[in-house]
Amino acid sequence: MTNESLSDFPLALEGDNMPMVSFRKVTKRYGDLVVLDSLDLDVAEGEMVTIIGPSGSGKTTVLRMLMTLETINDGVIYVDGKPLTHMPQGDRLVPASNRHLRQMRSNIGMCFQHFNLFPHMTALENCMEGPVHVLGLSKKEARERSEELLEMVGMADKRNQHPSRLSGGQQQRVAIARALAMRPKVMLFDEVTSALDPEVIGEVTNVIRRLVTEHNLTMLMVTHQMGFAKDISDRVCFFYGGRIEEQGTPDELFGNPQKERTQQFLSAVKEAT
Amino acid sequence: MSYFEFLSQYGDRLASGTLITMLLTVLSALLAIAIALAMGLMRLAPNALIRGIATVYIEIFRGTSLLVQLYWIFFVLPLFGITLEKFTAGFVAVGMNLGAYGAELVRGAILSVPRGQWEAALALNMSPAKRMLRVILPQALLIMLPPWGNLMIELLKGTALVALIAVADLMFQAKQINGSTFLSAQTFGTALIVYYILARFMITPFMRWLERFMTRKLGRA
Amino acid sequence: MFDWRWDFTWEILPRLVAATGNTLMAAGFGYALAVVLGLVFALAQRTPYRALTLAVRETVEFIRSTPLVLQIFFVFYVGPQFGLRLSPWTAGMIAIGLHYASYLSEVYRGGLESVPKGQWEAATSLNLSTARTYFRVIIPQALPPSLAGMGNYLVGIFKDTPMLSVIGVAELMHTATAIGSETYRYLEPYTLVGIIFLAISLPTAAGIRIFEAWVRRKLGMS
């Protein structure tokens, strides 16, 4: 990316309507394959945005870029007004240093499809790991915080179990507690129910539902569960071919989709379930 | 001379040789572990120079023979002003050689920790050092323990070569006794059996125990 | 490098290169013996006779767990005690061949066990003879997973040949030591030995990897 193109982007976002997350003309390529094509997407503070779409549409990439698990080829991402992928140097933006990335990452938490709990730590130790070793909390503080969160996700009684002794649904709930223990401003849920047996999906979605109603977290979620998306989202974005084909409130998008591709996708999903 | 007479006469020397062999094994194992960790991690470093140093080290020590390395360290290094006493030269050579093989085990084990573990550690905003130390290495350790068991046997066998620079280990004692008695079957046979006992009934059970211990400790029961 | 004498290097190089021929020959003969004996060991462990299986298994364990250099001494010196005199070459080949046969038998065993049980059942259902089952069905499938191990041990046997110098086989290490004791110069001969070993083992290892990939492609298994 050339510095000229970067000069089109502001050093920071300000104002009353400042979005918590803002993608500006973000492009991601793997070789010749364009995964995301000049994406513009704003998420307001406290908003719950769900991303749906066929596989290969780039929806998971959106979350992974926000977590800095993927680099981007063009554009800038802002979190809480500050550039995530870049940092100001003088009067222009330059690619972010590792230090800047670490600073910015503290705003974001993520839950994964395959939970990715640390197998050599108990549920409680998983939750305490970040607070103690990244945030520098005392063990006592971290334990209190973690136990509270495990209580909230209904896993307090299993806190001393290792992940190998927990079901998928239980592991995912611990993973949610682990991410929340870092007190992120933005939470990302990447197909968190896709690897679960049908009968335990509810215990995970209930936890997320509670987060939406009781907390003012900004959330982005990729899911295949249309019913759940419809229930809890403030806004739903339908991704197709690396761009947002259509977006709107759940009622608009599910009730009255405008674009043909959206209609096709939704009816195909409906048939499958 | 019956075998019992043979043992009562030469048992002491064989026993003292066995002790030296065990000491050599422990010292070179410690050195091999340290080198394997350092070189294995360096092989994965983002810096090309550091990676290159580790690659050259590993290729040189795996590409030539332990015996060549031992002779080089003992006979040639003094020409560069580094004179090692023969016992030290012995375990340093064995440790450096097996460390190169161990480095590949370390590297392989680290790479086989699932990618999701790296990503989860990153999502918790852990520093690269913490990610490695607290998340990846403990899991890699469990993966690489079984092949390290084989490597430890190779290491024990490797120590026998130090007899060739006259370190008084089990192999050396057997050679000396054979030289004066020509009771080859008794001397070399006894030494073979002692090596076998060390490998099969000490190193292998210890490594198995270590595997079980680590599995329990890391909560993978 | 200080004190390195090029004239001396050129003087001794021909002798070392000639000795390299002996080293390669020792590795080649030893490996050929190991490849065949190893297969015998592996197949002996698959017979229905429990006692034979157990005996071979323990022998393999024993050989694998004890130092090769000691085995070389054992084979070389024990014969004369009972009136059987072996030349250094013969004793060396027997020792190194047996040692690597025990390694290779484990490689074969792993390869044979990697063939799914269904392949045996399919062969039985077609009423193929045992020999035909092995040669047409099982071994072609067991081979590719064994190749990496076989290649490693080919390089391994080559690197272990210096141990034959202890009973006087005139291979590379033996020659270098002889030069050293004649001239009191060890820097050049031992360093050259190291370089010659690297120059052979690194390309061989690379070649084996290429060969392995080729066989996999050839058998349509990748």
Whether C151 and C56 have beta carbons less than 8 Å apart is answered as no
Q: Based on the number of CB atoms within 10 Å of its own CB, is C116 exposed (0-12), middle (13-18) or buried (19 or more)?
A: exposed
pLDDT, mean over chain C: 92
Average pLDDT over residues B68-77: 94
CB contact under 8 A, C65 and B65: no
Which of A69, A120, A134 comes nearest B125 by C-beta? A134
Across B90-112, average pLDDT: 97
Q: Assess contact for B185 and C81: CB atoms under 8 A.
A: yes
Contact residues on chain B for A162, CB-CB shorter than 8 A:
219-221
Give the whole-angstrom CA distance, residue B18 versus residue B16: 5
Return the partners of chain C (3 or more C-beta pairs < 8 Å). B
Half-sphere exposure of B156 (CA within 13 A, CB side): 25
Confidence at B221, pLDDT banded by 50, 70, 90 = low
Gap from B191 CA to chain C (nearest CA, Å): 8
Question: Which of B56, B57, B61, B67 to mutate: most C Cβ within 10 Å?
Answer: B67
Whether B157 shows a pLDDT value over 80: the answer reads yes
- The reply to whether residue C69 touches residue B199, judged by beta carbons under 8 angstroms, is no
Q: Which residue of B has its CA nearest to A100?
A: B125
Taking an 8 Å cut-off on Cβ atoms, the answer to whether C74 and B69 are in contact is: no
**CA angle, A116 then A118 then A119, to 5°:** 105
Pick from A89-93, A184-188, C41-45: least confident: A89-93
pLDDT tens, position by position, A129-180: 999 999 999 999 999 999 999 999 999 999 999 999 999 999 999 999 999 9
Using CA atoms, how far apart are residues B205 and B152, in angstroms rounded to an integer? 12
At A263, the pLDDT band (50, 70, 90 cuts) reads: very high
Q: Is B63 on the interface with C (CB under 8 A)?
A: yes
Selecting from B114, B134, B220 the residue whose C-beta is nearest the C-beta of A129 gives B134
Residue among B28, B157, B178 with most chain C CBs within 10 A, to mutate: B157
What are the start-end ranges of the H helices in chain B?
3-42, 48-63, 66-71, 86-111, 115-123, 128-130, 137-159, 170-181, 184-198, 204-217
pLDDT at A52: 95
Return the pLDDT at A273. Answer: 66
**Residue B184 Cα, gap to closest chain A Cα (Å):** 52
> Chain A contact for B123, CB < 8 A?
yes
Q: Which residue reads 């573990």 in tokens? A: B117
Whether the Cβ atoms of residue B43 and residue B57 lie closer than 8 Å to each other: no
What's the rounded mean pLDDT across residues B166-181? 94
CA distances from C85 to A11, B178, C70, C75 (A): 87, 16, 18, 10
Q: Rounded to a whole number, what is the distance in Å from the CA of B64 to chain A's nearest CA?
A: 38
Q: Which pLDDT band holds residue A261 (cuts at 50, 70, 90)?
A: very high
- Going across the sheet that includes A186-190, the strands are A108-111, A186-190, A218-222, A48-52, A235-240, A243-248
Which residue has 């005996």 as its token pair? Answer: C55
C81 and B182 within 8 Å at the Cβ level: the answer is yes
Cβ atoms < 10 Å from Cβ of C30: 26
From chain C, the residues in CB contact with B166 under 8 A are: none
Touching A (3+ Cβ pairs <8 A), the chains are: B
Cβ–Cβ below 8 Å for B123 and A69: yes
Band (pLDDT 50/70/90 cuts) for residue A1 is very low
Residue written as token pair 């993973």: A175
Q: In chain B, what percentage of residues exceed pLDDT 70?
A: 99
Mutate which: C66, C103, C157, C191, vs B, most B CBs within 10 A: C66
Alpha carbon distance C187, B151 (integer Å):
30
Q: Is B171–C160 a contact, with Cβ atoms under 8 angstroms apart?
A: no
Order of all β-strands in the sheet with A82-83: A33-43, A21-30, A74-79, A82-83
Whether residue C79 is predicted with pLDDT greater than 90 in this model: the reply is no
Nearest-CA neighbor of A92 among A23, A3, A167, A168? A3
Question: How far does A252 lie from chain B, in Å, by closest CA?
Answer: 33
Which residue from A minimizes the CA distance to B116?
A116
Contact C197 B182 (CB under 8 A): no
CA atoms within 13 A on the CB side of C110: 13
Pairing status of strand A21-30 against strand A33-43 = antiparallel
For an interface test with C, the pick among B71, B150, B175, B176 (most C C-beta atoms closer than 10 Å) comes out as B71
Q: What is the pLDDT of residue A3?
A: 47
3-state secondary structure of A47: coil
Token pair 């503290």 is at which residue?
A106
What pLDDT does A272 receive?
74
Q: Dump the DSSP string for B135-193.
A: IIHHHHHHHHHHHHHHHHHHHHHHHGGGGGGT--SHHHHHHHHHHHH--HHHHHHHHHH
Please compute the mean of the pLDDT values over residues A248-269 and round it to a whole number.
Answer: 94
Residue A183, pLDDT > 80, answer yes
- Say whether pLDDT at C68 is over 80: yes
Given this model, what pLDDT does residue A2 score?
A: 47
Which residue matches tokens 């179990």? Answer: A161
**Cα A229–chain centre separation:** 14
Q: pLDDT, tens digit, for every residue of A36-75?
A: 999 999 999 999 999 999 988 889 999 999 999 999 999 9
Q: Which of A17, A64, A52, A58 is nearest to A38 (CA)?
A: A58
How many Cβ pairs within 8 Å bridge chains A and B?
A: 71
> What is the length of chain A?
273
Overall average pLDDT of the A230-250 stretch: 94
Are residues C16 and C195 in contact, defined by beta-carbon separation less than 8 angstroms? no
- Predicted pLDDT at C180: 93
Residue A95 identity (one-letter amino acid): P
Which residues numbered 140-169 in A keep a CB inside 8 Å of some CB on B?
162-164
Q: For residues A100 and C93, what is the distance between their CA atoms, to the nearest angstrom?
A: 63
Cα angle A168-A237-A266, degrees, rounded to a multiple of 5: 80
- In SS3 terms, chain C reads as CCCCCHHHHHHHHHHHHHHHHHHHHHHHHHHHHHHHHHHHHHHHCCCCCHHHHHHHHHHHHHHHHCCHHHHHHHHHHHHHHCCCCCCHHHHHHHHHHHHHHHHHHHHHHHHHHCCCHHHHHHHHHCCCCHHHHHHHHHHHHHHHHHHHHHHHHHHHHHHHHHHHHHHCCCCHHHHHHHHHHHHCCCHHHHHHHHHHHHHHHHHHHHHHHHHHHHHHHHCCCC
Pick the closest to residue C162 from C185, C208, C186, C194 (CA basis): C194
Q: Decide: A and C in contact? Rule: 3+ Cβ pairs under 8 Å.
A: no
What's the first-to-final CA gap in chain A, in angstroms? Answer: 44
CA–CA separation, B12 and C9 (whole Å)? 46
- Any CB–CB contact under 8 A between B153 and chain C? yes
Q: What pLDDT band is residue A7 in, cutting at 50, 70 and 90?
A: confident
Domains annotated for chain C, with CATH where assigned, are: 6-218 (1.10.3720.10)
Name chain B contacts of C61, Cβ cutoff 8 Å: 200
Q: Is the dihedral of CA A48, A218, A28, A113 positive or negative?
A: negative
Residue C77 to residue B184, Cβ atoms within 8 A: yes
So what's the pLDDT on residue C222?
Answer: 56
Model pLDDT, residue B216: 87
Kindly state the average pLDDT of the residues C68-72.
96
Distance (Å) from the alpha carbon of B200 to chain A's nearest alpha carbon: 30
Contact residues on chain B for C192, CB-CB shorter than 8 A: none
Q: A68: which chain B residues are within 8 Å (Cβ-Cβ)?
A: 122
pLDDT of res. C221: 65
Angstrom distance (rounded) from CA A232 to CA A229: 6
Residue with token string 């080829």: A73
**Interaxial angle between packed helices A139-152 and A123-133, expressed in degrees from 0 to 180 and rounded to the nearest 10:** 130
The lowest-confidence range among A224-228, B18-22, B55-59 is: A224-228
**B vs A contact (3+ beta-carbon pairs below 8 A):** yes
Subunit contact B65:C78, Cβ cutoff 8 A: no
Arithmetic mean of pLDDT, A117-121:
92
Residues in chain C: 222
> Sorting pLDDT into bands at 50, 70 and 90, what band is C131?
confident
pLDDT (0 to 100) of residue A91: 86
> Tell me, what's the pLDDT at A5?
72
Hey, what are C150's tokens? 């076989």
Residue recorded with tokens 């329990």: B216
Is there a contact between B192 and C71 if contact means CB atoms under 8 Å apart?
yes
Closest approach of C180 to chain B, Cα-based (Å): 10
Q: Is A184 a residue whose pLDDT tops 90?
A: yes
The partner residue sitting opposite B138, judged by closest CB among A117, A120, A178, is: A120
The predicted structure's pLDDT at residue C126: 85
Asked if residues C158 and C100 have their Cβ atoms less than 8 Å apart, the reply is no
Model pTM above 0.90: no
CATH superfamily assigned to domain B3-217 = MetI-like (1.10.3720.10)
Chains with 3+ CB–CB pairs under 8 A to B are A, C
Whether A189 and A173 have beta carbons less than 8 Å apart is answered as: no
